[in-house]
Chains A and B, each alone.
Chain A
Amino acid sequence: MADPRLKSIGDLLARQGILIAFAIFLVGFAVFSDRFLTPENLETVIRQAAIIGVMAIGVTVVVIGGNLDLSVGSMLSFSTVLVVDLHDKIGPELAIIVMLAATLVLGAINGFLVGVARLNSLIVTLGMLSAIQGLTLIYTGGKNVDILDQETTWFAIFGRGHILGIATPILMFLGLALFMHVVMAYTPFGRRVYAVGGNPTAAVFSGIRRSRLVFSTYLISAFTTGIAALILGSRVMGSQNNVGQGYELLVLAGVILGGTSLLGGSGNILKTVIGVLILGFIQNGLLLMGFPYYAQWLVTWVVIILAVWLDIAAKRGRLLSPIA
């Protein structure tokens, strides 16, 4: 450890490990597939990653605040089913309003139980995961829902449209990420979330109203899930009852890959964006190379373990713990 060059490499890995990994993946896949680095493919990947990405923005805020939100997968199913089903019944405008309101109510329930009642967030949101799935099935009776008039509805803009030549899901994803990044990094609200997540006791003693803050982080993750449902519903123009099944883990994987600590108090929205994009590129790259898409689960796991390990190793200056 005496060599200062070694130390600086460790520093670099610790600070920008995620960006380095990102670059390695891009180069690696580009070598194996000549289709990988084409503009069409890059657009496809970011567009596909937008749904997970938008959700991950909200979940990052919850995690920085020191909690988890595992309910977002079935919340996505519920919200997508709701907005698609209501589209033909009450028109797209009202459908969107009702869906966002209903989604926020679900977020408020999470927020109340975790923030105000102070129940363990893992238990609350894991319970909500299956409760909301049940709610969705009761709502539809198991039927798929579809939008009949797919060609003319303006609802198509969210998932299929382009604004100024850029796909709308990409604009929504990156726009929301930038906005939330500014909120978290430069506003008192953002600083309070970091404070509550990092040291709840100290935060409370310095006058932060913890219950209200945690409550609002769950409203944010419900809101971003509602936006993701808009993109998903519009992209598919229909929905199955379990369309979001498993998304909670992909979202969490993106958040972790972005370096947000599950213990709360640290994290970065823009790095979550990179984390989600890495997941998207892994999936797309493996598909282009001809692997079945579930090979990504294995690769993703390896990448997450490496990311977390490198992060910790860089912090303590060695690979393995000094205590055996």
Chain B
Amino acid sequence: MTLKLAAALVATTALIGASGAAQAETYKIGITQNNVGVDSYQTTYEKAFIAAADENENVEAVVLDAGGDVARQIAQIQDLIQQNVDAIIIWPTNGKAVVPAVRKAHQAGIPVIVTNSNIAEEGLQFIASFSGPDNITQGARSAELMCEALDGKGKIVQISGQPGYTTAIERAKGFEDRLPEVCPDVELMETQPGDWNREKSQRVMESFLVKYDQIDGVYAGDDNMGVGALNAAKAAGRAGDIAFVGATNFAVGYEAMARGEYYGSIYQSPVDDAEAALKTALDVLAGKDVPALNYFDTPKITKANMDEFDKPVF
């Protein structure tokens, strides 16, 4: 991490040297990410962000990573304020703990854009905009997919993400609220957390299969866990009777969908996510009217329309 930081600083210094020659207005945009390298989504996000910033000659990016450590993220925000960047993009490691630092940036007159997952409510007044996926809508769309897959009738179980994660909570809420509206005859029997972990999800599903003789559908908080559930059902010889619906389409989910084993998911691209964050920051700096919650679209994906989407890289 230290190496990366040093590399970023060196790159920044080089950029500062180079930017002296450019005449058009150059924006210096700092980003502090949550935990690059811990999963493929965040790794791809960082690459896409750097690529998008490189492509735009008016942008000079300072790319930092908090390594999942909220104290380091707060220090990075303070550094960015010191460097007097034009805008700060933050992927919160902790939605509550970063609020004071965000307030500081706001007081220093630097617009803050939150990316991917939002900060706590009390911090919203200090940010220019939130750019990211709408997890509640994602959950609702998954409920619609489930309804479609079961023809409006059946018994299902849910495997949710890590307890305490906003994404996990919002997706479950979106799903649970929407399901009875579109499909009153689909019964959600039980929800257990799978911690975004395929093996844990597989274990939870094995227990569900022992516990319930009839399971018509499984909703998993992401495809990684959905494929774990699929593994368990296949081993028990019951995969054919069960419709699997996920979210955040993963490569494994995409492939299982192509084989007809996995009904549907929500397509959320880290590339779209990163590009939307940069664009939101630029729009804010250009003085455009940017919505407080600037969602990028995350469409439904099933076997029927999957050729419109590239296979996810993670």
Assess the A144–B314 pair: CB atoms within 8 A. yes
- Please tell me the size bucket of the interface on B: 20 to 34
- Of the 9-residue stretches A202-210, A216-224, A237-245, which lies at the interface with chain B? A237-245
Assess the B204–A287 pair: CB atoms within 8 A. yes
Quick one: which of A41, A44, A290 has the most chain B CB within 10 A? A44
- Residues on B with C-beta less than 8 A from A288 are 207, 210-211
Assess the B192–A287 pair: CB atoms within 8 A. yes
Assess the B207–A284 pair: CB atoms within 8 A. yes
Assess the A144–B40 pair: CB atoms within 8 A. yes
What distance in Å separates the Cβ of A279 from its nearest Cβ neighbour in chain B? 12
- Residues on A with C-beta less than 8 A from B235 are 160
Q: A144-B224, A144-B250, A287-B207 are in contact. Are A292 and B192 (CB under 8 A)?
A: yes
B38 interfacial contact with A, CB 8 Å: yes
Assess the A144–B231 pair: CB atoms within 8 A. no
- Residues on A with C-beta less than 8 A from B200 are 293
A181 interfacial contact with B, CB 8 Å: no
Mask, B168-208, CB within 8 Å of A = 1, is 00000000000000000000001011000111101110110
What distance in Å separates the Cβ of B1 from its nearest Cβ neighbour in chain A? 9
B36 interfacial contact with A, CB 8 Å: yes
What distance in Å separates the Cβ of A209 from its nearest Cβ neighbour in chain B? 39
Assess the A44–B207 pair: CB atoms within 8 A. yes
Chain B residue nearest to A33 (CB atoms) is B211
B163 interfacial contact with A, CB 8 Å: yes
Instruction: Tell me the bound Cα distance from A48 to B40 in angstroms.
Output: 27
Chain B residue nearest to A141 (CB atoms) is B43
10 further A-B pairs in the complex, CB-CB below 8 A; given A160-B235, A287-B211, A292-B193: A141-B43, A142-B37, A148-B255, A236-B198, A236-B231, A240-B197, A241-B38, A287-B192, A287-B204, A293-B192
- Residues on B with C-beta less than 8 A from A35 are 210-211
Instruction: Tell me the bound Cα distance from A287 to B39 in angstroms.
Output: 28
- Which residue of B39, B192, B193, B227 is within 8 Å of A238 (Cβ)? B227
Assess the B39–A241 pair: CB atoms within 8 A. yes
- Which residue of A33, A41, A238 is within 8 Å of B198 (Cβ)? A238
A212 interfacial contact with B, CB 8 Å: no
**Count, chain A residues at interface, CB 8 A:** 32
B142 interfacial contact with A, CB 8 Å: no
B70 interfacial contact with A, CB 8 Å: no
Chain A residue nearest to B207 (CB atoms) is A287
- Which residue of B39, B203, B255 is within 8 Å of A48 (Cβ)? B203
Interface residues of B, Cβ cutoff 8 Å to A: 36-40, 42-43, 163, 190, 192-193, 197-200, 202-204, 206-207, 210-211, 224, 227-228, 231, 235, 250-252, 255, 314
Instruction: Tell me the bound Cα distance from A143 to B210 in angstroms.
Output: 32
Chain A residue nearest to B213 (CB atoms) is A35
What distance in Å separates the Cβ of B214 from its nearest Cβ neighbour in chain A? 13
Instruction: Tell me the bound Cα distance from A238 to B202 in angstroms.
Output: 12
What distance in Å separates the Cβ of A36 from its nearest Cβ neighbour in chain B? 9
Q: List 28 A-B contacts (CB under 8 A).
A: A35-B210, A35-B211, A44-B206, A141-B43, A142-B37, A142-B38, A142-B42, A142-B43, A143-B43, A143-B314, A144-B250, A144-B252, A235-B202, A236-B202, A236-B228, A236-B231, A238-B198, A238-B252, A240-B197, A243-B198, A284-B207, A287-B192, A287-B207, A288-B207, A290-B190, A293-B192, A293-B200, A294-B193
Q: A142-B37, A236-B228, A292-B192 are in contact. Are A243 and B250 (CB under 8 A)?
A: no
A40 interfacial contact with B, CB 8 Å: yes
What distance in Å separates the Cβ of A81 from its nearest Cβ neighbour in chain B? 12
Instruction: Tell me the bound Cα distance from A137 to B206 in angstroms.
Output: 29
- Residues on B with C-beta less than 8 A from A243 are 197-199
Assess the A294–B206 pair: CB atoms within 8 A. no
Assess the B224–A240 pair: CB atoms within 8 A. yes
Mask, A23-43, CB within 8 Å of B = 1, is 000000000010100101100
Assess the A142–B228 pair: CB atoms within 8 A. no
- Residues on A with C-beta less than 8 A from B38 are 137, 142, 241-242
Instruction: Tell me the bound Cα distance from A103 to B31 in angstroms.
Output: 37
What distance in Å separates the Cβ of B148 from its nearest Cβ neighbour in chain A? 27
A232 interfacial contact with B, CB 8 Å: yes
A88 interfacial contact with B, CB 8 Å: no
Instruction: Tell me the bound Cα distance from A142 to B42 in angstroms.
Output: 8
What distance in Å separates the Cβ of A72 from its nearest Cβ neighbour in chain B? 16
- Residues on A with C-beta less than 8 A from B227 are 238
